[in-house]
């Protein structure tokens, strides 16, 4: 893999200031910039479309917003941070008493320097977020303030980005990340950028499987994508939800709903191979878009590899989750880790013997190294031959190479190499079990 | 539930003296009296009918029976206890030497005051049962006795009582009890009366499921009922065999043949909720009519909740299992316990999400209590919301509410209430898995 | 069982000197001699026939072979031991320098008195095997030697022997042994002779199941047999590969590939019943023809009972595995052991109740020993009755008698006898589950 640190850094800086939400121009701009990295197809789902139990909301765009004190000074200014405005705030322009304003102000007493991140997607309302320090400094009982939000809620559309990388097999894995958060760095600008470069690398590989990479606003976007691509999505069984991959803390992974699913063992094995200590988070009904993909109608296994995981770090959903909190190099490391997993996953084929009955005549293939007379263990057999024979024994068209490597306690790469050699020699043929 | 103690006491006294057997007028009279409590349908299966491997025997009725000593004194008298005559004894009237009489006399040396209970259903014979004290007092070597039994074996029928309580679903649970024992109180007059009041209470409830309550003579009656209702009985998977519910000892339950079946966990949970200590008896091929219902042709899971269980108490199958041994209040308690189980069982529905794909839009339903911005565990989420989300996650149309409550380690009632709320809101719909 | 020790001894001596290989006259002669014991059908599969991944090779026969030293003395002579020639050696007659000869000489430094056993089936070559002692004694640097092999490789056929013993059921068990080894006693002349006598005994029994007994050259012979009898072989699920049954060491058995398969428990139980200590060898992809039968296309469970197992004894595949190493009495003992297994296996039927619904009326059948009145445990019931009732409970048409004996912790013979009694009384009927 190339070292993408510099490019990641470039895009972090470029994408961080854009005001993203579940709809709006900020999302489109973000996706257009990502098109510089990968050939994303941008799709629009119109306002009002019924997507399962949900309706695609009006499109929200915002031009400006501020609060002025009685001296006409801007004490809160959207231009300084798009977190200052509660996402989906409606337009407002009036002079209000402090008492009327207070319910519309959001701050965190326990984190006095941080602007919290708040949304009001499905209830028409308006509000400002600010640091507790600013609140104490600028807001006084009895004062009068001028509030101004110049936003628009109109019939428009919800925007998603999609890249399908087709492999030899039509069997798809899903890679999903969410683009709806405004200026928050770890959650989830890190994931958005990493996913773009993951897609770039996956395009370079001659893939065995196909990869569906989607950039959607969280929840409503994932739901809209599922509803508009139901048949395809119901065929997908496994994938990843990319989220929070650039923080300073420990690696961790959130297991998919079926904790016995091989994809979880896959991740753990790769952590071990890289000698990375990690935390395991069991599946939870809170979280990101695995909530949709794991629902009864799909039951997809989509774990997330995080650093640091949402909910788990102090600066989560505040203005302190900014470019100082994360690190392009860290994102590059996680990208490398994800890529290792994808590469192994891409090789996790299922084979059966071209002739399932009886043994293969290995000597004809130059694979049986010696004259006959039987094997005396420790003397004339070899580990290579043993592994090869066991591999052939287990290739029944249903058991995957990863499962065989687990049964044989052999490294996956060794099993993969052997299997590919046997495929070249037309001893093994690929199968596509359900 | 009403307190039925007084009524139970009334019927105990009224039904105890009646001479019941596997056929005969005593059974009809018993069922007719029960009709005062519930609208039983009385069905007759004729003598000679082939029911699986068995044949319905002749109907037996008895008018009188006694033994007189050489002085003409009645020393054993059927009118004092219907246990004095071996059930299904043929008529006899003759004067016999003690030696000829002895093989026809049954008593218990280890329980000298008790008259044992004996039957000879399928071998034409006659006999008397008496206490060992009486035997020693009245029977002497060398003496002559006049024996008299005025009974009748005729082509008639076997009588059963049936009550079908129909619920919203045609899916049935079975409640079966046996009416063939004469003057024995715990085994099983207690069960017969308790079942009648259980039926009465179940009629009052707006049931989700249907309940088939049957009163049959043990073994041959259950077999006859199965043979005459085979299609219906083969669809029933679960139920209860009511037996011995009024004794002074410990509660216990006999597990159904598949000890992993949820009905057994259901009973244990209800014992725990009531803080009742109990014994567990594994399934056995001896016992009551679960022997028929668990046979390969039916494989129904029908546990029994007992107090005290047959075989386990000293007075079992003797005249000491009388109205002094049991207690109407105890029967009322067991009734209450059974009713708790039935009420929970009746709520143990299976649901699926009306829209199985993705999450429900809870905020539209007033079920999502807050503005957006993500959940910070411990701060903005609630236990109620968590349980609701997990419930929705598991409602796949196959997993029952009881199973979900077990997975979530939540009380059943909480899960039930949530599910019913979600059904009302048309978020969940009922399914009827096999 | 008759004591076959004397006959086994007779055939050991008669068959030991014959030069067997994977094809050739020696094999035919061996099978013809075995026809004196059992009516083997001898089948020929022609050179060049494609059998799965393999091709049946040319037929090999050899008349004579020797090495003479420069003084014209025979220092290695095929007539002394057919192990002296590498099996499938092509003809050669020339005078060679010691340096040219050396690559064609095989000996074992660690076992200086033993002639090793070597083959070159699928690579045209020639070679001699000799003891290390002889090598040191007769071969000197700088000397010249005359080598002579008079052999023939021609279009012919591969020879197998087959005996199908038909039982009441068409369901077959396989017994397979290999005939390709020349003068090696334990591996596998012991197995060949034992299998013949096992067949003889199985013919005497009125079998419930059918037995397919085959004598094939190892690997290519088993493969050729499978390919020529594919449909039949795919129906067979269980059997035995007979190998190495006459050695002086410990008993052992190589498990079939599915170690949970009942056939393995069957063997272990029989070892226990005979108080024989034994070793357990897990399934391995090295070994004998279970490699073919367990391949994905067949997945047959065919364990081997050995004494001593191939690979495990010092003299394996050398001239010291001769008639002094083994013992006719030992082979007779193993035969007896195998026969016990076959007899139990032949009784391992699957039954269902003729009437699956409800209980059997045992009193009508004279099987219920007493008057009615209920069972008081320990008093009136009997162990026999309990076992009988449980057996009837489990006879569902799918669970075999062996499995039922395991569930009930009862000796198989007791279960068998009960089941046969119940079959005679038309209470149980045989089923043939897949």
Provide the angle, in degrees to the nearest 10, between the axes of the packed helices C191-204 and C25-34. 30
Contact B357 A297 (CB under 8 A): yes
pTM of the predicted model as reported, rounded to 2 decimal places = 0.91
Partners of residue C306 on adjacent β-strands = C252
Residue A34 C-alpha, separation from nearest chain B C-alpha, in angstroms:
25
Q: How many angstroms separate the CA atoms of A186 and A198, rounded?
A: 17
Chain C residues with CB under 8 Å of A369 CB are none
**H or E, element range at A404:** helix A401-408
Report the alpha-carbon distance of residue C253 to residue A223 in Å, rounded.
Answer: 58
Q: Which residues of chain C does B117 touch, with a Cβ-Cβ cutoff of 8 Å?
A: 373-374
- Residue for token pair 């000799």: C130
Chain A residues with CB under 8 Å of B371 CB are 86, 118-120, 123, 125
B298: contact with C, CB 8 A cutoff: yes
User: Any chain B CB within 8 A of the CB of C379?
Assistant: no
**Pairing verdict, β A144-154 and A128-129:** unpaired
Residue C1 has what pLDDT? Answer: 73
CB-based contacts of A216, cutoff 8 Å, min separation 6 = A160, A161, A176, A177, A178, A179, A222, A224, A225, A289
Report pLDDT for A372: 55
**Residue located via tokens 């048949």:** A231
What's the CA gap between C187 and C309, in Å, rounded?
A: 9
- B386 in A contact zone (CB under 8 Å): yes
Percent of chain A predicted with pLDDT > 90: 92
- Tell me whether the omega of the peptide bond preceding residue B308 falls within 30 degrees of 0, making it cis: yes
pLDDT at B369 (0 to 100) = 59
Q: Return the pLDDT at C234.
A: 98
Q: Is pLDDT at A379 greater than 50 in this prediction?
A: no
Whether chain C has a CB inside 8 Å of the CB on A360: the answer is yes
Residue of chain C nearest A374, judged by CA positions: C317
Nearest-by-CA chain C residue for A395: C296
The beta-carbon neighbor of C285 closest among A357, A363, A389 is A389
Is there a contact between B358 and A122 if contact means CB atoms under 8 Å apart?
no
pLDDT, tens digit (0-9, with 9 covering 90-100), for C254-267: 999 999 999 999 99
The pLDDT of residue B335: 98
**Residue B298 corresponds to which tokens in the numbers above?**
């039916």
Q: Which residues of chain B have pLDDT under 70?
A: 369-382
Q: What is the pLDDT of residues A205-214, one digit of tens each?
A: 889 999 999 9
Is the pLDDT assigned to residue A27 strictly greater than 70?
Answer: yes
At residue A381, does pLDDT exceed 50?
no
Q: Which residues pair with C89 in a beta bridge?
A: C125
Chains that touch C (3 or more CB pairs under 8 A): A, B
Q: Which residues contact B402 (CB under 8 A, 6 or more apart)?
A: B262, B265, B266, B344, B348, B412
Provide the 3-class DSSP secondary structure of residue B274: coil
Would you state the structure tokens that stand for residue B103, as one six-digit string?
């093989």
d(CA B164, CA B232): 12
Contact C358 B292 (CB under 8 A): yes
Contacts of A353 (CB under 8 A, 6+ apart): A360, A392, A395, A427, A428, A429, C295, C296, C297
CA-based nearest residue to A403, from A355, A354, A349, A356: A349
* Closest residue on chain B to A228 (Cα): B357
Q: Which of A87, A291, A311 lies at the smallest CB-CB distance from B377?
A: A311
C265 burial (CB, 10 Å; 0-12 / 13-18 / 19+) is middle
Residue contact C374–B310, C-beta within 8 A: yes
Query: What are the residues whose beta carbons fall under 8 Å from the beta carbon of C253, sequence distance 6 or more?
Result: C264, C267, C268, C271, C278, C279, C280, C281, C303, C304, C305, C306
Q: Tell me if the bond preceding C308 is cis, omega within 30° of 0.
A: yes
Burial letters for B100-138: b for 16+ Cβ neighbours within 10 Å, e otherwise? ebeebbbbbeebeebbbbbbbbbeebbbbbbbbebbeeb
Q: State whether residue B409 sits within 8 Å of chain A by CB.
A: no
With beta carbons less than 8 A apart as the criterion, state whether C52 and A427 touch: no
The DSSP secondary structure of B122-187, one letter per residue, reads TS----EE--HHHHHHH--TT-EEEEEEEEEEES-EEEEEEEEE--SS--EEEEEEE---SS-III
Quick one: average pLDDT of C107-113? 97
> Exposed (0-12), middle (13-18) or buried (19+): which is A228, by Cβ within 10 Å?
middle
H or E stretch including A394? helix A383-394
Read off the pLDDT of residues C53-101 as tens digits, 9 standing for 90 and up: 999 999 999 999 999 999 999 999 999 999 999 999 999 999 999 999 9
For residue B224, the chain C residue with the least C-alpha distance is: C358
pLDDT number for residue A257: 97
Residue A382 has pLDDT above 70, yes or no: no
| Interatomic CA distance for residues C400 and A177, integer angstroms | 54
Q: Distance between CA atoms of B357 and A302, rounded to whole angstroms?
A: 15
Q: Does A357 touch chain C (CB under 8 A)?
A: yes
Q: How far is A147 from chain B (nearest CA, A)?
A: 21
Assess A410–C contact: CB distance below 8 Å, yes or no. Answer: no
Q: In angstroms, rounded to a whole number, what is the distance separating the alpha carbons of residues C308 and A236?
A: 53
CB A316 within 8 A of CB A187: yes
Q: Enter the tokens of residue C52.
A: 């799965």
- Is the pLDDT confidence value at A162 over 80? yes
Probe site for chain A from B353, B357, B382 (most A CB atoms < 10 A): B357
Closest partner residue to A373 among C294, C298, C317, by Cβ? C317
Question: What is the reported pLDDT for B382?
Answer: 61
Cis peptide before B318 (omega within 30 of 0): no
| Chain A residues 128-157 within an 8 A CB cutoff of chain C | none
Burial class for A277, CB neighbours closer than 10 Å (0-12, 13-18, 19+): exposed
Nearest CA in chain A to C187: A374
What's the pLDDT at C375?
45
* Beta carbons of A132 and A112 less than 8 angstroms apart: yes
Averaged pLDDT, C353-380: 71
The predicted pLDDT at position C380 comes to: 39
Distance CA C58, CA B309 (A): 78
Q: Do A363 and C223 touch (CB under 8 A)?
A: no
Task: Give the pLDDT confidence score for residue A13 in this predicted structure.
Answer: 98
Are C222 and C293 in contact by the 8 Å Cβ rule? The answer is yes
Mean pLDDT of A381-408: 92
3-state secondary structure of A41: strand
Which among C23, C45, C51, C53 is the top mutation candidate for probing chain A, defined by the most A β-carbons within 10 Å of its own β-carbon?
Answer: C53
In degrees, to the nearest 5, what angle opens at C-alpha A194 toward C-alphas A190 and A197? 150
Residue bearing the bigger pLDDT, C247 or A371 = C247
Q: Per-residue pLDDT for C374 more than 60?
A: no
Please state the rounded mean pLDDT for residues C277-283: 97
Residues 6+ apart with CB under 8 A from B260: none
The ipTM is 0.92
Q: Is A393 on the interface with B (CB under 8 A)?
A: no
A353 and chain B: CB distance < 8 Å anywhere? no
Residue the block writes with tokens 């029933």: B236
| Cβ contact C386–B295 (<8 Å) | no
Q: Does residue A116 sit at the B interface (CB-CB below 8 Å)?
A: yes
The token pair that represents A228 in the structure block? 């508009």
Sign of CA dihedral B229, B232, B234, B238: negative
Among C371, C376, C390, beta carbon nearest to B285: C390
| Chain position carrying tokens 């065929």 | A235
- Residue pair A67/A128 in contact (Cβ under 8 Å)? The answer is yes
DSSP H helical segments within A44-112, as ranges?
A: 98-101
* CA distance linking residue B128 with residue B147, whole number of Å: 9
Q: Nearest chain B Cα to C381, which residue?
A: B286
Give the nearest chain C residue to A371 (CA atoms). Answer: C120
Cβ of C389 within 8 Å of Cβ of B286? The answer is yes
Q: CB distance C87–A371 less than 8 Å?
A: no
Beta-bridge mates of residue B177: B215, B242
Instruction: Give chains near B: 3+ CB pairs under 8 A.
Output: A, C
Q: What's the distance, CA C356 to chain centroid?
A: 40
């Amino acid at each position: 893999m190339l070292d993408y640190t510099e490019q990641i850094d470039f895009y972090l800086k470029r994408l961080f200031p854009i005001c993203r939400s579940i709809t709006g121009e900020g999302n489109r701009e973000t996706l257009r910039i990502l098109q510089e990295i990968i050939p994303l197809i941008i799709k629009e789902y119109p306002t009002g479309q019924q997507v399962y139990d949900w309706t695609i909301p009006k499109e929200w765009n915002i031009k400006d917003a501020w609060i002025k004190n009685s001296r006409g000074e801007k004490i809160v200014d959207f231009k300084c941070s798009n977190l200052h405005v509660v996402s989906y705030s409606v337009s407002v322009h009036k002079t209000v008493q402090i008492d009327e304003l207070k319910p519309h102000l959001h701050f965190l007493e326990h984190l006095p320097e941080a602007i919290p991140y708040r949304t009001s997607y499905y209830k028409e309302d308006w509000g400002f977020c600010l640091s507790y320090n600013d609140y104490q400094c600028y807001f006084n009982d009895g004062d009068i303030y001028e509030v101004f939000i110049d936003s628009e809620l109109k019939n428009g559309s919800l925007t998603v980005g999609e890249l399908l990388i087709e492999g030899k097999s039509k069997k798809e894995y899903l890679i999903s990340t969410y683009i709806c958060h405004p200026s928050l760095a770890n959650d989830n600008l890190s994931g958005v950028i990493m996913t773009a470069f993951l897609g770039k690398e996956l395009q370079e590989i001659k893939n065995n499987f196909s990869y569906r990479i989607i950039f959607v606003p969280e929840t409503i976007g994932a739901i809209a994508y599922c509803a508009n691509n139901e048949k395809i999505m119901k065929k997908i069984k496994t994938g990843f939800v990319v989220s929070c991959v650039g923080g300073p803390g420990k690696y961790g992974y959130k297991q998919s709903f079926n904790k016995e699913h091989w994809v979880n063992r896959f991740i753990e094995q790769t952590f071990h191979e890289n000698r990375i200590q990690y935390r395991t988070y069991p599946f939870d009904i809170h979280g990101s878009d695995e909530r949709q993909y794991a629902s009864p109608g799909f039951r997809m296994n989509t774990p997330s590899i995080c650093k640091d995981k949402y909910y788990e770090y102090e600066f989560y959903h505040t203005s302190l989750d900014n470019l100082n909190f994360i690190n392009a190099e860290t994102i590059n490391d996680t990208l490398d880790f994800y890529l290792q997993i994808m590469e192994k996953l891409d090789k996790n084929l299922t084979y059966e013997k071209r002739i399932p009955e009886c043994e293969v005549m290995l000597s004809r293939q130059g694979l049986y190294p010696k004259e006959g007379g039987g094997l005396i263990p420790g003397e004339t057999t070899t580990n290579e031959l043993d592994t090869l024979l066991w591999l052939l024994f287990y290739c029944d068209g249903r058991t995957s190479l990863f499962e065989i490597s687990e049964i044989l306690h052999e490294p996956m790469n060794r099993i993969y190499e052997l299997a590919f050699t046997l495929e070249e020699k037309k001893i093994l043929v690929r199968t596509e079990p359900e």
